[in-house]
Structure 1
Amino acid sequence: MMEAQLARCVAAWCPGATGVAGATRLSGGASQETWSFDILHPGGDIGAILRRAPQGYGAAPARAAGLNAEAALMQLAHAAGVPSPKMLYVLQPNDRLGTGFIMERVAGETIPRKILRDDTFAAARPKLARRLGGILAAIHGLPLPQLPELRRMTAATEISEIERDYRSFAGPRPVFELALRWLRKHDPGPSEDVTLVHGDFRHGNLIIGPDGLRAVLDWELAHTGDPMEDLGWICVNSWRFGEIDKPVGGFGSREELFAGYEAAGHRVDASRVTFWEVMGTLRWGVMCCGMMQRFRSGPEHSIERAMIGRRSSETEIDLLRLLAPGGK
């Protein structure tokens, strides 16, 4: 069924395509799906990825930019030389596939355990932190007038939304209360620099090969705001996967990340990065609580949700380390 739908769609925009093969669903949440397939073509088959919200599905989460905005951002990033999959096609209503887009498939790895431990990536790991700093600088340098319509986020807005979500759960968590109080007290105010913020720049959304970073994925949480937010988010301990002494994704140091960022002509405000690291740690903890609540109350008792939900206790330990005098 899906291959037939894709074949009809591809025939309309890919001259010479003779069909599609190997359509496989990779993932699917409450409102979105990801499919991998090959476009059959006499000049050589094309590996492709479909990312879509099928017709009739509910609206995307409030924080999401939307799939059309995500497609526009990826096109802009690719044109500017940011490692991002090439956009092949944006779905239209007459395709009857819902809302979304088709992009080229990029070979590589997204599983953190493999990236951090397999010999295949041994040569890439020492260079990744600095490289990611440079990529974030390029993302933050994309011209604001060319961006699609996006949410404008500030630290105060973020604190308010996190607290709203946290208060919707049953029972207080003293460490989260402490973190909220710390964030309010240390809110640095609106950033003088307002840029595009990727919003979810971390393991899982980065395709890595033996040669290093190959593509940045999942732009659905993109917004405009403080560029230091992205630098703080990649340093959250939950994305180190056990390599606690390597703050940047478990493979590098903050100094290397900052050096790559500043070498690209952008300034780092380390105190704001620390603020956003605390914010990101609390945000992930609250998100974990939300996963557990959906596991307990929802009709679908997903083991994956339960496994993520239990990690809220890990974020409490991380917050205590961050908020201790001299802690990080």
Structure 2
Amino acid sequence: MAVTAEQIQSVLPPLLGEALGQSCVLHTCRRLTAGASADTWWLEADCNGPQQWILRLDAGAEDLGMAPGKRWEALAQRAASTAGCPVARVITVLGGSEGLGEGYLMEALSGESLPPVLLKDPRFASAREQFCGDAARALAAIHATPLTDLQSLPLQDAATQVELLYAMHRDYGESLPVFSLVYGWLKDHAPQIDSPALVHGDFRLGNFLIGEEGLNGVLDWELTHRGDPMEDLGWLCVNAWRFGRRDKPVGGIASRDELYAAYENATGQRVDEARARYWELLGTFKWGVICQYQAYSYLRGHVPSLERAAIGRRVAETEYDMLVCLQELMELNHAD
């Protein structure tokens, strides 16, 4: 059963009093989204002054089987914040016994997240110019986050993800040769992880809050895990997140060379281009399976959403993108 505003207004105040050490009065409680994996609310309160918060609750619906859960999402976000990543401060974590399910409350940050606005509006020209530097510094902080308290986060290396995604693809009953071709190549060339790091897992345009001065916050940690830091660089360059600007792989804003150089400057570590491009191909493969997942969640009656049904048409786009990625990656490996 979905959580109501009345339940939130009843349960949260005493928890906030304990977390903040002062009484709080909620006077606005408005649902923003009710997606498959997160039920998100906008809250306004008075705690010795006005406060604006975001509450993320587990929606309880099926997911890709790659999300660690809202509690671990909150703990990873909190740890990354301590390491210097620009994220919203987590105020309290809900374990489920409170009656709202698993979730967490965090501060609301300012900024724009809509890619069409960020890519075209003149107000964000300066933010676009410094995007690679901002993104690289955020990733450097994420990947340097101590894992001491995050050892129970799932370890998702390339081989694990490839097998999981291909099993999902086969479960849909479609025989798509491009998926089989790319699966075989990814399986045969899967890199090993020498030193697992915290990985955001969905680091892309659309999951950033950006102001006119630059990056204000990294959002949506629901796919966070331990893994290969190059995964985040590859995912950021997947063609689906370029929004029609194929010639600018980094979110439709910049080149890979600019991103790699900024990451090397922020971390002091060389980017293995072939490894990053491997993850770009794997990310494209993943997005293709996600498109199938979205469509079949409708076709199998799990989520009555026309938007999900329509996204199935994008599977063909990902097939083309996979072939382009694979050709470029094979040429890169041959040149080396």
Contact 1:72 1:148 in 2 (8 A): no
In the TM superposition, residue 107 of structure 1 has moved relative to its aligned partner by 1.1
Corresponding residue for residue 33 of structure 1: 39
Aligned partners of 1:299, 1:81: CA distance in 2, in Å? 39
Residues 299 and 60 (structure 1 numbering): CA distance in 2 closer, same or farther, change over 3 Å?
Answer: closer
Residues 3 and 208 (structure 1 numbering): CA distance in 2 closer, same or farther, change over 3 Å?
Answer: farther
In the TM superposition, residue 148 of structure 1 has moved relative to its aligned partner by 4.8
Corresponding residue for residue 253 of structure 1: 255
Aligned partners of 2:160, 2:302: CA distance in 1, in Å? 32
Residues 282 and 94 (structure 1 numbering): CA distance in 2 closer, same or farther, change over 3 Å?
Answer: closer
Corresponding residue for residue 45 of structure 1: 50
Corresponding residue for residue 210 of structure 1: 212
In the TM superposition, residue 96 of structure 1 has moved relative to its aligned partner by 1.8
In the TM superposition, residue 300 of structure 1 has moved relative to its aligned partner by 4.1
1:163 maps onto 2:163 in alignment: no
Residues 93 and 221 (structure 1 numbering): CA distance in 2 closer, same or farther, change over 3 Å?
Answer: closer
Residues 181 and 60 (structure 1 numbering): CA distance in 2 closer, same or farther, change over 3 Å?
Answer: closer
RMSD: 2.1
1:63 maps onto 2:50 in alignment: no
1:285 maps onto 2:288 in alignment: yes
Moved runs in structure 1, 4+ residues, more than 6 A?
A: none
1:101 aligns to what SS in structure 2?
Answer: strand
1:278 aligns to what SS in structure 2?
Answer: helix
Which amino acid is 2:93 matched to? V
Residues 119 and 78 (structure 1 numbering): CA distance in 2 closer, same or farther, change over 3 Å?
Answer: same
Aligned partners of 1:160, 1:234: CA distance in 2, in Å? 22
Corresponding residue for residue 192 of structure 1: 194
Which amino acid is 2:142 matched to? I
From 30, 33, 47, give the equivalent of 1:24: 30
In the TM superposition, residue 100 of structure 1 has moved relative to its aligned partner by 0.7
Contact 1:3 1:21 in 2 (8 A): no
Aligned partners of 2:9, 2:36: CA distance in 1, in Å? 21
In the TM superposition, residue 4 of structure 1 has moved relative to its aligned partner by 5.8
Aligned partners of 1:277, 1:125: CA distance in 2, in Å? 21
Percent of pairs with identical residues: 41
Contact 2:77 2:221 in 1 (8 A): yes
In the TM superposition, residue 273 of structure 1 has moved relative to its aligned partner by 0.5
Which amino acid is 1:21 matched to? H
Contact 1:11 1:19 in 2 (8 A): no
Which amino acid is 1:179 matched to? V
Corresponding residue for residue 182 of structure 2: 179
Residues 282 and 93 (structure 1 numbering): CA distance in 2 closer, same or farther, change over 3 Å?
Answer: closer
| 1:162-196, Cα deviation, whole Å (9 max, x unpaired) | 11011111221122122112212332x31223211
Aligned partners of 1:86, 1:299: CA distance in 2, in Å? 33
Which amino acid is 2:197 matched to? T
Corresponding residue for residue 231 of structure 1: 233
Residues 178 and 60 (structure 1 numbering): CA distance in 2 closer, same or farther, change over 3 Å?
Answer: closer
Residues 282 and 59 (structure 1 numbering): CA distance in 2 closer, same or farther, change over 3 Å?
Answer: closer
1:141 maps onto 2:147 in alignment: no
Contact 2:89 2:106 in 1 (8 A): yes
In the TM superposition, residue 64 of structure 1 has moved relative to its aligned partner by 0.9
From 129, 134, 138, give the equivalent of 2:132: 129
| 1:221-243, Cα deviation, whole Å (9 max, x unpaired) | 11111111111000000000011
Aligned partners of 1:48, 1:58: CA distance in 2, in Å? 24
Corresponding residue for residue 88 of structure 1: 91
Residues 94 and 178 (structure 1 numbering): CA distance in 2 closer, same or farther, change over 3 Å?
Answer: closer
Aligned partners of 2:11, 2:167: CA distance in 1, in Å? 45
Aligned partners of 1:198, 1:324: CA distance in 2, in Å? 27
Aligned partners of 1:157, 1:12: CA distance in 2, in Å? 38
Range 145-154 or range 272-281, more displaced: 145-154
Gaps of 5+ in 2: none
Which amino acid is 2:56 matched to? R
Range 278-287 or range 15-24, more displaced: 15-24
1:313 maps onto 2:316 in alignment: yes
From 280, 284, 304, give the equivalent of 1:301: 304
Aligned partners of 1:279, 1:53: CA distance in 2, in Å? 27
Which amino acid is 2:248 matched to? K
Residues 141 and 302 (structure 1 numbering): CA distance in 2 closer, same or farther, change over 3 Å?
Answer: same
Aligned partners of 2:302, 2:70: CA distance in 1, in Å? 27
Residues 75 and 317 (structure 1 numbering): CA distance in 2 closer, same or farther, change over 3 Å?
Answer: same
